Structure formats: structure tokens, C-alpha cells
Structure 1
Amino acid sequence: MPPGAPAQLYPLGDAAVVVQFGDAISRATHAAIQAFGAHLARHPFVGLRECVPAFTTLTVYYDPWLVSDGGQHPPYETVADTLRALLATVGPPAAAATTNLVEIPVCYGGAWGPDLDFVARHTGLATAEVVARHTAPDYLVHMIGFAPGFPYLGGLDARLATPRLAQPRPRVPAGTVGIAGPQTGIYSLPSPGGWQLIGRTPLRLFDAAWAAPSLLHAGQHLRFVPISAAEYARTQQHEP
């Protein structure tokens, strides 16, 4: 899709519409997704269930029974027409605020980041330079996915791009920070994974008992802050 092109709509099953705002990951596309999601929150239609943002899309889930008009039109067409009308009235995306950053402490290397040395060799950088480059940017949370609370981040230094593991690990501890290609993210729960592991945060990213179960959400900005092993042990919130 060319920049500035109208959003494209297509069905996802019989109870969701995907609104596609672009073909590539970008802050401009993210801003458009956030703006439309906020517009829908202010102007919900009857039958709207939830909206799920991704890198280039916003998926709108609805109750087909509640949007049915007695069989005159398929529910998808009714919802798609409603969304097109709302798209025509949404204002321009607001500039993203970066003043309130979420700081994520990370202990890099060693048992917390067993692939840090590999990333250094692959990129031709010293391990200290890998850490410095990884902690320098303010990252944008584009989406939560893969596992509950897992943030997909934009803003990784291009020099740090490193391929995934050829064979994924069967278990990656919660809080582990990894790199996969041009992306970086944080494992929110213990799970299998093939990202290159460079560090671990002592913070808990997801807890179903919390009022808002995920620490992070799409649209936030975060910064990684290096800490020592002693600091990690002192502030650890999840199981080792």
C-alpha cells in the first residue's frame, strides 16, 4: 500500500474485520492504527467486542447477531460499511508522547543472556557495544502478541540485527530479552522461543490477577536500563 493510501478492509472469519493501514512496520502506520482504535473507543457501534492492534492492522471483533439487520445484509458488510464511515471521520494521528517512558531494567549476558556473545560475534561489535546500542533507543511498543504481555518493539539499532536460532529452545524464562532479525522483545512468560537471548529483566510483564494483566501495551515507549546481577537478584519479581 502506498503511503497515505486508504485503509483496506477484509473479513477474518465470520466475526471480525481486519483494517489494514500499511504493508510495512513504521511509526506512521502505528500512529494511524492507534488513532483509529481511539476513535472507535469514543464511537463504538452496536455489537463491537474489541479491537486488537498489530504492526500494520487493527482487527475489529464484533457480535454478528447484534449487528444483524434481519438478514438484509451479511453482518460483515454492515460492519465494514460502519468502519468505512468511521474512517472518513477520524482525525489525523496525534504525535506520540515520549516524555513518560517505561524503564525496563535488564541484566545483560551470563546466565541471563546466553546469546550475547554470539550477537557480538555476528555483528562484529564488542559485547559492551551491543549493550550500549541496545539500551540507547527509546522503543515503541507496536503490539502485544505471541504470548500474553509479550511486546514487539520498534527502534532496534540496525547493527544489532541477528538471525533467530536454527533450533528454538524448548523453554525461555520469563523476563528474557531477545533479538530476532531486526526486532527485539521480552518474553513475558516461560515459553519456547528461538530469539537470541541477550539479557533478562527482573520485572514481571504479565499477571492474570492484575486489574490490567499486561505491564505494557501498544503505543507505550520504553527504554532498557542495564543493571548488575546483584540488582537483578534484589528486585526479581518472577520465578528464576
Structure 2
Amino acid sequence: MTGQDTAARYSWGGDEHIFVELAESMSLQANFRAMAITTLLKQERPDGILEICPANASYQVRYDPDVLEPRTLLAQLQDIEKRVGDASDFQLSTRVVEIPVLYQDPWTTETLMRFRDRHQDPDATDIEYAARINGLSGVDEFIETHSSSPWFTSMVGFVAGLPFMFQMVPRERQLVVPKYLRPRTDTPKQTVGHGGCFGCIYSVRGAGGYQMFGVTPAPIYDPSQELPDFGDFMVFCRPGDIVKFAPITREQYDDHVKEVEAGTFRIRTREVDFGLKSYLDDSDAFNARLLEVLRAD
């Protein structure tokens, strides 16, 4: 099975961490195994576990060695890995999340024009370049391709609250776009970007190297926890979230910004169970059923 070509590798990180690499390359299958293992670990959580962090094709555990003996933890993790297997029977309780996007917005457009000397194609915008190298007819087809399929949040990190997302289509249909030749020193907050096979949303303004396609009015990081979507935690996105991008107009974008400023904006979400086997059996049919959940009242 793709994503499980080699046995897991366990590495110690100082006295408090153990890092587990499940595969050398990212795939939905490898990431789903990481989700399954860390979910089971959270459910069984032995005394001494401090943090559990799933990633693209790996996970890391922070523990207290004064409470939990390292070799005991290693044995528990290896046992969970064996029980999970290829995770084909695992059902992940997660969310379908709709993220509105103003594609080709003025802010990322202005930013990308300042950094054309760092780009593979100085004469094109990022989205024009992405459309061309993916064999699409132009920007409109690219936006349709980018927004019509769901994206699986494989991990959250790099900077606080930034989700990495893997397009839920067969590999031969995935959008693939290289990062900038040299990173930018500026990226607008809430930019929707792409690098390699990963989509992302920049949670804060700062440096970055991913191609920029648009911007969302939806905050995904609120350290003050004043907005209604952040009552439980300052970071909105969770590993395992299934994201659907929804193209919006400038007028709709401005309306959403006013809602954010008024403290009334909510990201549209629905609870859902996701099973890898059902998805792999017929991904297009599965995605169609999955996205119907967002349209339910």
C-alpha cells in the first residue's frame, strides 16, 4: 500500500520526545495511519504523555520520563501501530469545513508582483503559472479544479495555526506547483497558498515561499479568542479537517470582513465520519457525498 512501504522508524528526541516516521513520502494513506495511531493513543493515553502531534507521514509524542519509562512507551506505540495496521478499518470523527476564497485578490497580487525576481515565471502571476504547468486552459479552470475537490488537513504547524492540506483526488490529478525559487519576505495574512502537493492557509502575515492564489476573509488564528469560532482554542484548524474552498466575489469578501469586525462571522462546518477504505474505493463518489454534508441544513 502506498505510504506503508517501510517499517516505522522510532527515534528519540532528547529525554522527553519520541518521533515516529511511518513513511518516507507523504500520501493520504500514510497520513491516515498517523491519524489512526495518534487517535488511539489519545483514547488510551497512559500517564506521563504530555503532547501528541500528528504530522504528514509521522507523529511525535512528548512525555515525562519521570512518570513514563521510555522503553515502556516505545512498546506501547509499537503495539498500537500493529493494531492499527493499514488503518483501513479506522473511522475518523472529523469536520467538513468551508473556507471562502477571493481568488486573484488585490493584496496577494500586489505582493507577488513585488517578488517576481524570486519566481520561476516573472511574466505571469502565481495562479497563471500554476494553471499553465498543470496543463489547464487558464485561471478559470484552475480555480474550478482547486475549489471543486476537498482537501484533507494533514497537519497544523510551521507557524501557529497554519494548516497543510492534501488534495483528495487520485495522485495523477493532484495540483502540483513548486515553491518560489527564493522565499518572499512578505505574505498577507490568510493567503491561500500552494507548494509541491500541499495547499495551505497562511494564518499570520510573514515570510513564505508557497505560490499565492487568493485570500480568505475567515480568520484561522485568534490568540485573543474573541471570535465565536475560537471559544475552545486559539487555532481553528485541526489535523483531519476536510476543507472545501468556496470562490467568492469582492463584494462577498467585504461583507465577510464586516462580519469578522462585528464579531459575528462563523466558518461553516459540519461533523462527519471519514473512512479511508470508502474513499479509496471510489474517491469521486465519496467526495460528492461528503460535500453534500455542507449543503445540509
TM-score (norm: length of structure 2): 0.70
| 8 Å CA contact retained: 2:10, 2:20 | yes
Q: 1:76 aligns with which of 49, 58, 70?
A: 70
Partner of 1:94: 90
Q: 1:136 aligns with which of 148, 151, 164?
A: 148
Q: 1:104 aligns with which of 99, 117, 130?
A: 99
Partner of 1:194: 209
Is 1:117 matched with 2:123?
Answer: no
Is 1:233 matched with 2:254?
Answer: yes
- Structure 2 letter corresponding to 1:163: P
SS of match in other structure, 2:253: helix
State percent identity of aligned pairs.
27
| 8 Å CA contact retained: 1:33, 1:57 | yes
Partners of 1:49 and 1:21 lie apart in 2 by 21
Q: Deviations over 1:101-147 (max 9, x none)?
A: 20000000141442223323444531101101100111100000111
SS of match in other structure, 1:128: helix
Partners of 1:171 and 1:129 lie apart in 2 by 27
CA shift in 2, pair 1:110/1:44, >3 Å: closer
| 8 Å CA contact retained: 1:156, 1:182 | no
Q: Shift of residue 23 of structure 1?
A: 1.9
Partners of 1:118 and 1:89 lie apart in 2 by 45
| 8 Å CA contact retained: 1:22, 1:29 | yes
Is 1:31 matched with 2:25?
Answer: no
| Structure 2, unaligned runs of 5 or more | 110-125, 262-297
Partners of 1:11 and 1:228 lie apart in 2 by 49
The structure richer in helix per residue is 2
Q: Cα RMSD over matched residues?
A: 2.4
- Structure 2 letter corresponding to 1:230: E
| 8 Å CA contact retained: 2:4, 2:22 | no
Q: 1:146 aligns with which of 158, 161, 167?
A: 158
Q: Shift of residue 172 of structure 1?
A: 0.9
| Structure 1, unaligned runs of 5 or more | 68-74
Partners of 1:111 and 1:207 lie apart in 2 by 24
Q: Deviations over 1:57-104 (max 9, x none)?
A: 11011012222xxxxxxx432321232234344574424568x52000
Partners of 1:2 and 1:128 lie apart in 2 by 33
Q: How many residue pairs are counted as aligned between the two chains? A: 230
Partner of 1:59: 60
- Structure 1 letter corresponding to 2:186: R
- Structure 1 letter corresponding to 2:189: A
Partners of 1:182 and 1:3 lie apart in 2 by 19
- Structure 2 letter corresponding to 1:7: A
Deviates most, 193-202 or 178-187: 178-187
Partners of 2:82 and 2:178 lie apart in 1 by 41
TM-score (norm: length of structure 1): 0.85
CA shift in 2, pair 1:97/1:133, >3 Å: farther
| 8 Å CA contact retained: 2:49, 2:63 | yes
Partners of 1:135 and 1:180 lie apart in 2 by 16
| 8 Å CA contact retained: 2:3, 2:27 | no
Q: 2:240 aligns with which of 213, 219, 224?
A: 219
Q: Shift of residue 50 of structure 1?
A: 0.9
